[in-house]
Amino acid sequence: MEEDHALGGGGAAPDPDGPDGVRMTWNSWPRNKVEASKCVVPVAASFAPIRSSPSLAVLPYPPLRCKPPCGSVLNPFARVDFAAKMWICPLCFSRNHFPPHYAGISEANVPGELYPQCTTVEYAPPPLDSTAPPPLPVFLFVLDICLIEEELEFVKSAMRRAIGLLPDHALVGLITFGTQVHLHELGFADMSKVYLFQGTKEIPKEQILDQLGLSIAGVRHGAVNVAPRGPQANGFHSSTSVNRFLLPASDCEYTLNSLLDELQTDKWPVEAGNRALRCTGVALSVAAGLLGACISGTGARIIALVGGPCTIGPGMIVSKDLSEPVRSHKDLDKDAAPHFQKAVKFYDNLAKQLVNQGHVLDLFASALDQVGVAEMKVAVERTGGLVVLAESFGHPVFKDSFKRIFEDGEQSLGLSFNGTLEINCSKDIKIQGIIGPCTSLEKKGALCADTVVGQGNTTSWKMCGLDRSTCLTVFFDISPSERSNQSGIPNPQLYLQFLTNYQNPEGQMRLRVTTVTRRWVDGSNTEELVEGFDQETAAVVLARYISLKMEMEEEFDATRWLDRSLIRLCSRFGDYRKDDPASFTLHPNFSILPQFIFNLRRSQFVQVFNNSPDETAYFCILLNRESITNSVVMIQPSLLSYSFSSPPAPALLDVASIAADRILLLDAYFSIVIFHGMTIAQWRNMGYQNQPEHQAFAQLLQAPHDDALGIIADRFPVPRLVVCDQHGSQARFLLAKLNPSATYNSGQEVVPGGDVIFTDDVSLQVFCEHLQRLAVQS
């Protein structure tokens, strides 16, 4: 399965991630550190904690755990002594007695978690207090009103639709902001009430609560709340009255709709030559502060709809003066973005607060200019929030994505809350950290490696928000201790166990346990290592790894680093004679990797200068949270070709694939391009498809559209659909992704109907030639 790189089909191929949703760069692990470092590609696992799986077993009782400090959950790999009613933990080899209620266990009567195919099971123990209703999810909308009328109307209609889709029991709140933050009190009957906060001042959470009369003491407002003791039905502190601001959707739908009707663009004047004053930062901290009044454990999302850059207060990314452009990558490199660090720090703190509270920040940014995703990235990513970047609130990328998050059923994203991930591993394995939408809980343990990648220094992570597609990349370190070497009988298998506690969309707490095992191999045995290599995962892990490094390390030269790694990898695992490039071959498990790397080098992840920092941040967030399959598409788009002569088929991602009588469908993850060859375009323009005798043509035209819609329907955020014709201006979306095997100066004859790319970039062929040459150098 690992080789399956037919990238196109959504779900046609067998699940590449297997039942466990775990993919590793190396499925055979070198036994020691030195060997591991020789492997070049880090030992890492990509893991989707709660991806949906039809075969998932749900057990209605609490899990059985190994004695501390291990704490692993009983799994199919445990050795069970049915007679003695004991089990041996495969990770730590401790013996555990079965508790009395497992007394009936026998070879013929095995609990679900011990079935061999149940490496992933989900426990759904009945809640301790069965009478308490599950905590209600909270949706707090934070709406930018520094918009032009048209955009505001788009937002309003999107909001109205969303309100209609909200589950009745969900609690809803509304904050609008411009120069100031307006917190709408929905539960006040006499008159619409709005609390205002100044946009220029950062307000600590306590102060917000105090000012809203929500502080625990409630002293200031003298709010002698007569509320009954004990947790309230809606899951808030009894002493507070946050339900003035957060109401069940069914109760406040009318209020919200009338509020939206009244909503106007920000009235504060914008001087000529200035940007509107927009206090995104304060608005978000007010939202976070308000949610702070919810008791912990309440799943809550802040859904921020932002239409422009933050220009005042904390989180400001650019001054209001229009003569100052929003920072570019160049500015960031040169340290010429005066607001950047401050803003990042602000959002970092916001992220900490949100994680602390267990709440999520979702960001819907729609603007032609940047809105500050680069700065907000940290808050979004740490809390496991969703992010969508579009150019207008009227654009389908926003509209459809926004709708998706409230949809139910099959289409549902399965938005869950309050996830906590714990990882247990066999000894000799340490965890460096995780790249992905989570936050380290700083729970240090014996399993923590000295070096840290991403969110590390812990064996436990918080995922305030997670969904079915959420994917984390765990980096491992192999550091056998002295003692383990002495133990003599090295166990050939290593075990990893992922424990994910979360609150599912229905509000129930679940614990998903995934236990996987892999083989230890002797480092010197390249053969075995090669067999266990997953080049897709490796490409993605490398991409994630370098994007992290690019962010963290100044002066990091990603291209060089990639080239060097690839060369090292090839010289280690390639099959060649020294200094004879022609003799160079690669095992099929490695064969596509150079192409991945070639495309990665040209991708938006490495070549950031074509993009704004916002876009880069956006791409990275998604790269880090998407599944391997999707991430590979981001790195190396898939191309399908449609023509009369053949059924739809994958085509080479090469300019040579362009032909006048073909339709190409490019899936670059963020955008989907339907490219009509010249002839096709002409035919279409002449309307042949409308003529009954040319039904086939109509079908040909329709096929890529149907496929594109299939992809779009499955993807979040919704990709941008570009329909273009050869030589049209939009064709650049395709050309940019193709291997420039034919350029304006390549001198080759252009096939009639073909195309050339105006670039000086090297083509894949040249790249590979160099690679071969360098790999075989002694």
Partner 1 sequence: MMCSADDELPAVACFSLKHFTVLAATMDVAVMTSLAPIRCSSVSPSRSLSTSMASSSPPFASGPPQPRPWFSPTPDPNVAGAAQNSQIGRPQTSSGAPPPFAGPTLASSRPGPPPPFSSRPPPSGAVPQGPIASNGPPVPGFTAPRIPPTPSVQKAAPVGTPASIRAPPPSATASQAPGVRPFPGSPPAGASLTAHASPFVGPPASQPFGRPPAVQSPFAGPPTSQPSFTGSPTSQRPFGGPPTSQPPFAGAPTSQRPFAGQPTSQPPFAGQPTSQPFSGPSAQAFTGRPTSQPYTGPLTSQPYAGRPSSPSYMGAPASQPFSQPPTMGTPFGVPAWPLQPGQVAPSMPGNVQAPPRMFGMPPGMPGQSMSPVPPAMGHTPLAGSQVSTPSKIDPNQIPRPMPSSSVTVFETRHGNQANVPPPATSNFVAKDNGNCSPRLMRCTMNQIPCTGDLLSTSSMPLALMVQPLALPHPSEEPIQIVDFGESGPIRCSRCKGYINSFMRFIDHGRRFVCNLCGFTNETPRDYYCNLGPDGRRRDADERPELCRGTVEFIATREYMVRDPMPAVFFFLIDVSMNAVQTGATAAACSAISQSLADLPDGPRTGVGVATFDCSIHFYNLKRASQQPLMLIIPDIHDVYTPLHSDIIVQLTEYRQSLEQLLENIPSMFESNKVAESAFGAAIKAGFLALKPTGGKLLVFQSVLPSVGVGSLSSREAEGRTNVSSGDKEAHKLLQPADKTLKTMAIEFAEYQVCVDIFVTTQTFVDIASISVVPGTTGGQVYYYYPFNALSDPGKLYNDLRWNISRPQGFEAVMRVRCSQGLQVQEYSGNFCKRIPTDIDLPGIDCDKTIMVTFKHDDKFQDNAECAFQCAVLHTTVYGQRRIRVINLSLPCTNMLSSLFRSADLDTQFACFLKQAASSIPMSPLSQVREQIINLCINILYAYRKFCATVSSSGQLILPEALKLLPLYTLALSKSIGLQNDGRLDDRSYWVSRVASLSISLAIPLVYPRMISIHDLTTREDDGSLLSSNIPLSSEHINDDGIYLLENGEDGLIYVGSMASPETLQKIFGVSSVDGLPSQLVLQQFDNDLSKKLNEVINEIRQQRCSYLRLRLCRKGDPSGLLFLSYMVEDKTPGALSYVEFLVHVHRQIQNKMS
Single out the residue of 101, 229, 267, 483 in contact with partner 1 (rule: CB under 8 A): 267
Check residue 227 for interaction with partner 1 (CB under 8 A).
no
Rama region for 775: left / alpha / beta (φ>0; ψ in -120 to 50; rest): alpha
The single residue among 107, 129, 262, 410 that binds partner 1, judged by CB under 8 A, is 262
Measuring CA to CA, how many Å separate 154 from each of 208, 397, 399, 591?
A: 30, 13, 9, 48
Neighbours of 380 (CB within 10 A): 26
Q: How far is the CB of 217 from partner 1 (least distance, A)?
A: 13
Stretch of residues binding partner 1 (CB under 8 A), selected from 165-173, 177-185, 629-637, 693-701: 177-185
Q: How far is the CB of 673 from partner 1 (least distance, A)?
A: 44
Rounded Cα gap, residues 449 and 445, in angstroms? 9
For partner 1, the closer CB: 176 or 420: 176
Max distance between CA atoms of the chain, in angstroms, equals: 85
CB of 430 to partner 1, least distance (A): 48
Binding mask 229-258 for partner 1 (x = CB under 8 A): -----------------------------x
Min. distance of Cβ 310 from partner 1 in angstroms? 18
- Give CA–CA dist 542/538, Å, rounded: 6
**Minimum distance between the CB of residue 228 and partner 1, rounded to whole angstroms?**
18
Q: In whole angstroms, how close is the CB of 223 to partner 1 at the nearest point?
A: 6
Of 25, 46, 75, 180, the one binding partner 1 by CB under 8 A: 180
Instruction: Return the closest-CA partner of residue 121 out of 76, 72, 67, 69.
Output: 76
Q: How far is the CB of 260 from partner 1 (least distance, A)?
A: 12
269 binds partner 1 (CB under 8 A): yes
Q: Is 222 in the site for partner 1 (CB under 8 A)?
A: yes
User: Which CB atom, from 192 or from 591, has the smaller least distance to partner 1?
Assistant: 192
Closest separation between CB of residue 189 and partner 1, Å? 10
DSSP letter at 83 equals: T
- Selected from 268, 609, 744, 758, the binder of partner 1 by CB under 8 A is 268
Measured from the CB of residue 307, what is the shortest distance to partner 1 in angstroms? Answer: 19
Report how far residue 686's alpha carbon sits from residue 680's, in angstroms, rounded to the nearest whole number. Answer: 10
Characterize 326-364 residue by residue with b for buried, 16 or more Cβ atoms within 10 angstroms of its Cβ, and e for exposed: bbbbeebeeeebebbebbbebbebbbebbbebbbbbbbb
CA 358 to CA 376: how far, in whole Å? 17
Q: Could you give the string, one character per residue 123-162, with x where binding to partner 1 holds by CB under 8 A and - elsewhere?
A: ----------------------------------------
And the tokens for 51?
Answer: 């991806």
Residue choice 13, 59, 86, 223 for contact with partner 1 (CB under 8 A): 223
CB of 601 to partner 1, least distance (A): 51
Structure tokens of 633?
């598409």
Q: Which is nearer to partner 1, 179 or 401 (CB)?
A: 179
Q: Which is nearer to partner 1, 190 or 554 (CB)?
A: 190
Check if the beta carbon of residue 216 is closer than 8 Å to that of residue 292.
no
Report the C-alpha gap between 476 and 45 in whole angstroms: 8
Tally the C-alpha atoms within 13 A of residue 185's C-alpha that lie toward its C-beta: 16
DSSP string, 458-492: -SEEEEEEE-TT--EEEEEEE---HHHHHT-S--S
- Contact window for partner 1 (CB under 8 A) among 180-188, 303-311, 398-406, 469-477: 180-188
**Is residue 564 close enough to count as binding partner 1 by CB under 8 A?**
no
- Closer to partner 1 by CB, 113 or 266: give it: 266
Tokens 């909503």 belong to residue: 263
Residue 429: beta bridge partners?
Answer: 478
Tell me which DSSP letter residue 274 carries: B
Number of residues lying near partner 1 (CB under 8 A): 31
| Least distance CB 739 / partner 1 (angstroms) | 55
- Considering only residues 261, 410, 749, 760, which one is a binding residue for partner 1 as defined by CB under 8 A? 261
Considering the complex, what minimum distance in angstroms separates the CB of residue 309 from partner 1? 20
Question: What is the C-alpha separation between 215 and 206, in angstroms, rounded?
Answer: 7
Nearer to partner 1, 193 or 705 (CB): 193
Nearer to partner 1, 22 or 145 (CB): 145
Q: In terms of CB distance, is 188 or 744 closer to partner 1?
A: 188
Residue in 5, 31, 156, 182 binding partner 1, rule: CB under 8 A: 182
CA dihedral 290, 295, 301, 304 (to 10 degrees): 10
- Closer Cβ to partner 1, 87 or 197, answer by number: 197
Cβ 188 to partner 1 shortest distance, Å: 8
Residue 455, both tokens = 């969110």
Check residue 298 for interaction with partner 1 (CB under 8 A): no
Q: How far is the CB of 261 from partner 1 (least distance, A)?
A: 7
Q: Mark 190-219 with x for binding to partner 1 (rule: CB under 8 A) and - for no binding.
A: xxxxxxxxx--x-x---x---xxx------
Task: For CA atoms 381, 144, 401, 296, give the dihedral sign.
Answer: positive
Verify binding: residue 460, partner 1, rule CB under 8 A: no
Minimum distance from residue 191 beta carbon to partner 1 (Å):
5
Phi, psi angles (nearest 5°) of residue 376: -80, -10
221 binds partner 1 (CB under 8 A): yes
Strand intervals (E) in 396-533? 416-425, 429-435, 439-440, 460-466, 472-478, 493-503, 509-521
Q: Which residues of 743-778 are buried (b: 16+ CB within 10 A; e: fewer)?
A: beeeeeeeeeebbbbebeebbbeebbeebbebbbee
Q: CA dist 243 to 238, 293, 295, 421, Å?
A: 10, 10, 12, 31
CB 220 → partner 1: shortest distance, Å?
Answer: 6
- The residue (of 211 and 517) whose beta carbon lies closer to partner 1 is 211
**Secondary structure letter of residue 668 according to DSSP:** -
Binding site for partner 1 (CB under 8 A): 179-180, 182, 185, 188, 190-198, 201, 203, 207, 211-213, 220-224, 258, 261-262, 267-269
